Every structure is written in structure tokens, then in C-alpha cells.
Amino acid sequence: MATPLLPAAYFAATSTAPWLLLRAARAAHLRQNAPMARLPERFGEATQQRPKGKLIWLHAASVGEVQSAAALAPYLAAHATLLVTTSTQTGAERAAQVLPEGSIHQFQPVDTARAVSSFLSHWQPDLALFVEGDLWPRMCRNLARRGTPAALLNARASKSRARFPRSYGYMLTPFRLITCQTEAVRAGLMALGLPSDRLRCLGDLKADLPAASIPESALEAFQTAAKGRPVWAAVSTHPADEAHVLAAHRALLTNAPDALLLWLPRHPARAEAIRASADGLGLSQRSQGEAPTEKTQILLADTLGEAGAAFATASTVFLGGGFGREGGHNPYEPAKAGAFVLSGPKVNNFSAAYARLAVDGFTELVADTATLTEALSSRLSKPHQPPWQGSETNAAIATIDALAAYLP
């Protein structure tokens, strides 16, 4: 297949000025507060030895993709050593929590000729798997040139893919298998000219995940703070969500002055900005060891791995990512804890999940602060629902079956 104009221009630009990508990778590493000793991984320089034997490379960009990968990881690890790459530090931390013992983690290499070549030469994967997306042209091309089988798993709708169909068709043409969350996604990929026998609609891996783990210390802290009070949680929020969350909570406090908000931002580094914007409210910050009191109106849990405790404590959860450009976050996790899920309207990455849960009465999308406040007011004192069960999709098992021909 001839290289389309856009990828050709990309290859030329990044060959002439690879420092543009290197600088961006370094800036991302610093912004994420990732360990500096691991910065070379982003430049393709491994910080661990490759073990002997077969190796499967699984790329999961950040926390959401790692969650999807977690459903597959035990099956994959039974076949070969599992190398997992992420683009973010939060993804790396989540991978350490949910992936099988013995898995190796590295940061994703930047898409320069030297970094890609160094990464592939060192790790020599027998199979390359990409969860949901985060594909880079040079990496896809080099995998094809090396004859490494590659698959895209749990593909979802993508605005970028719709805007640049020829470029994505070029990158995906060598892939042996693409599994899709919905038939609509499969139809969109077929429109790129990809062979139908390589496209499988197997359901959403996120729907097969078990309920989120519940750290006992966090659960005790949250439930002690919430005892006898109306409580809601805002989880995985981003900057675009924050003003809505804060304004809604201020409005709730006028009628329910003892209301408590458990606030778990997606990135703990947002805690300082959140604290500044909550001036005048009683706020206890968990990372600072500030124990909540009866005067605490916001318990700011700027910590990681405690969402399960929030879902178990608050029967109503606002899930972030729906007011900005993030495309929403996985609503199955709070629903499986029996929580009702609210989100902003821009949930294109999880539109099928929200639609599915809405039918079962577990979700509502809100358009603005006023509708968020109204929804919270009507639900604040309601108890947890029975956990969402749904229908068993067994997407993980179906995906492993589809990969069987390529597993080393």
C-alpha cells in the first residue's frame, strides 16, 4: 500500500527533526512526575533485561486502557512473558496494581526512528497488542517490516480515525486482528478498506472487569466521614469538570449543609488548584494527613487506587471526563458497586457503555451545572442499588480465542 500524504509528511518531518518528539516526551514525563531514572525508556532505552523465551508486548496508554488489559493479562501471561507499556505514570501505577506478577513495565517509546528501532531490537516481541488505540505510524510500519504479528484490541469510536481515514487505514492494514466494542465501530473500520475477516465484534472488555478493589483504610476513612450525612463522590475529574462539581456542591450545601463530597481527581496534581477554588468551604486533604471532621464539606482524596472505596461509600457518583475533551471514563466500575453514575455529555469514548447502563437505570448524562445539581438533589439520600450485573459478554475469553492463532 502506498504511503498516504499525511504519514509520508510525518515520516519526513520526524526524520529531519526527531527532537520535536523527544522534547514532547521529556515534557510529558516531567509533567506526570514520573521517575527521572526511567526517562530513557521513552527514548527506546530499556531499563530491564529481556527474559529468555517468548514475549508478548501489550500497550495500554493510560489507566482506562490498563483496566481493559487487566481482563486479558492472566491469559496472556500463561503463554509468554508479558511486557506492558503505558504512556502515563498513572497508567504505570495502575498496571503495577492489576497486572500479573512477573509482568514487565516500560514507558512507551517515542515514535522516532532510533527509539522505535532500539525498543524493538531489545525486546523482540513475538506478538504486539494495542488496547483501544494510541497507534503511532513509525511503530506500526516497523512492526510490519519485522513481520511481528500485531492486533488492535477493544477498538472504540475515534474522531481522529474519522478525520484521517486514509492514514489510519494505512497504519492498520498490516494488523492481523482488530476486535471492536460495537458493530458500529466494526462498520467504520470496514469503511477504511480493512478486510472483514480481520474485524471481530466481541463486546467491551471493560464490561467484563470485576468490581473495583476496595482498600480497607480508605473505606474506613470515607465511611467514618460520611456516617449519617448525605454524601456523593466526584471521581476521575479533569479541569473542565471541576467548576461544575464545585458549583453543584455549593448549591447542595444551601439546602443540605451537612452534605459531604468525596473528591478524587483523575490526577492528584490537581489537588492544589481544587483546594484554591474551594476557598470558604471546609476541606480535608487526604494526602496531607488531614483527618475529616464534622465540619469537613469536601474530603479531597488526592491519592491513587481508592476509587473502589468511594464507589462503596457514595450511592451517587459523578464520573469525570464528560465536560472536557477526554471522552468520558468507564462507568461500569461504579455501577458494579451499585452506585448511580452521572457524567457530562461528552462521553464519546464510552457512549455504548453509558447507553447500555442507562437502559438498566444506572446512568444519567447532565448538560451543565444546573442539571448536575438537580440530579444530585434528587438522588443524594437514596441508597446503593443492587450491583449492576448486565449480561455476561465474556469479551476477554472471546478475545483470547480470537488471538489463539497468533499467541506464541
Residues serving a catalytic function are 65
User: How many Cβ atoms are within 10 Å of 269's Cβ, its own excluded?
Assistant: 13
The answer to whether 369 and 363 are in contact (CB under 8 A) is no
From residue 115, alpha-carbon distances to 9, 25, 81, 220 in Å are 19, 11, 22, 46
Do residues 362 and 317 lie in contact, with contact meaning Cβ atoms separated by under 8 Å?
no
Q: Within its chain, how far is the Cα of 149 from the centroid?
A: 24
1 CB neighbour count, 10 Å cutoff: 9
**Are 10 and 170 in contact, with CB atoms under 8 Å apart?**
no
For 194, residues 6+ apart whose C-beta sits below 8 A from its C-beta are 169, 172, 173, 178
Rg of the chain's alpha carbons, rounded to an integer?
A: 22
Other CB atoms within 10 Å distance of the CB of residue 226: 19
Per the CB < 8 A criterion, the answer to whether 56 and 408 are in contact is yes
Name the residue type at position 80: A
Question: What is the distance between the alpha carbons of residues 373 and 366, in angstroms, rounded to a whole number?
Answer: 9
235 and 261 in contact (C-beta within 8 Å)?
no
CA distance linking residue 271 with residue 197, whole number of Å: 48
**Rounded distance, CA 177 to CA 170, Å?**
15
- Could you tell me the sign of the dihedral formed by the alpha carbons of 70, 76, 81, 87, in that order? negative
Q: What is the DSSP letter of 49?
A: P
Which amino acid, residue 18?
Answer: P
Let me know: does 110 contact 87? Beta carbons within 8 Å: no
Q: What kind and span of H or E run contains 57? A: strand 55-59
